[in-house]
Amino acid sequence: MEPTGFPSAYEPPKPPRQPTPLAKRIIPPNPLQSLVVVGGFVALLFVIEALDTALGHTLDMHGIWPRDMDEWDGILWAPLLHVGWDHVTANAVPFLVLGFLATAGGMSQFLGVTAIIWLFSGVGTFLIGQPGVHLGASGVVFGFLTFLLVRGLFVRSLPQIVIAVAVFAVYGSVLWGVLPTQSGISWEGHLSGGVGGIVAAWLVGRSFKQTTARPALPG
């Protein structure tokens, strides 16, 4: 029994710390899995380019041909195809870095974000692209970039905003690629992918708000 007048030395256990919601994470919940998935996709790009080279670059004809309804399926294949090794190498590093950061919300969210960006980039290029075949993963890379730049604003996450500033410092200059300033570059794909990244970030933020506002129902 404690002496009268003296406070007890017992302190109740602190409640367990709540885990950071996936929408606000800056590091993937399973970094190794993220690295395997994103790195595996980048490796696939090199395998496809090797196959394309062996076939005399005939696969390049399956990219996006704007407004040609007989070639609409290029929307699906274009990000997998590249015009030579320099092209695929130029896209590989930013895809690996930005794609890895984009998996912070978990693999399910990442796949959804990638699908939205992929379709926005492809459909946008199909509708507004200049004549000629469009191909390459740069539209998806631009989508990852804009997604990372604005997701912190939609979910109100200061750490994600800090990461966005760092990403912008490294890759911000490539945003000029959304302007028609250089011939032979699919700025339409860059612009459309960038819009897709913003839409994906908005949907992530909307989903997060709906989840946190959802009332708990008694069992």
Percent of the chain surpassing pLDDT 70: 84
Domains and CATH numbers, the chain: 29-211 (1.20.1540.10)
Q: Give the pLDDT score at 30.
A: 94
Mean pLDDT of all residues in 55-73: 95
Amino acid (one-letter) located at 188: E
CA distances from 70 to 48, 62, 63 (A): 23, 11, 12
> Per-residue confidence at 25, pLDDT binned at 50, 70, 90?
confident
pTM of the model: 0.86
Identify the residue whose tokens are 């970030």.
201
Q: Which of 87-101, 161-175, 177-191 has the highest mean pLDDT?
A: 87-101
Q: What local confidence, expressed as pLDDT, does residue 117 receive?
A: 98
- Max mean pLDDT among 4-8, 23-27, 179-183 falls in 23-27
**What pLDDT, on a 0 to 100 scale, did the predictor assign at position 211?**
75
Residue 19 has a pLDDT of 65
The answer to whether 63 and 74 have CB atoms below 8 angstroms apart is yes
Which bin fits 15, alpha (ψ -120 to 50), beta or left (φ > 0)? Answer: beta
The mean per-residue pLDDT over the stretch 98-117 comes to 96
**pLDDT (tens digit, 9 = 90+) per residue, 196-210?**
999 999 999 998 888
Query: What is the SS3 assignment for 2?
Result: coil
Residue 123 has pLDDT above 90, yes or no: yes
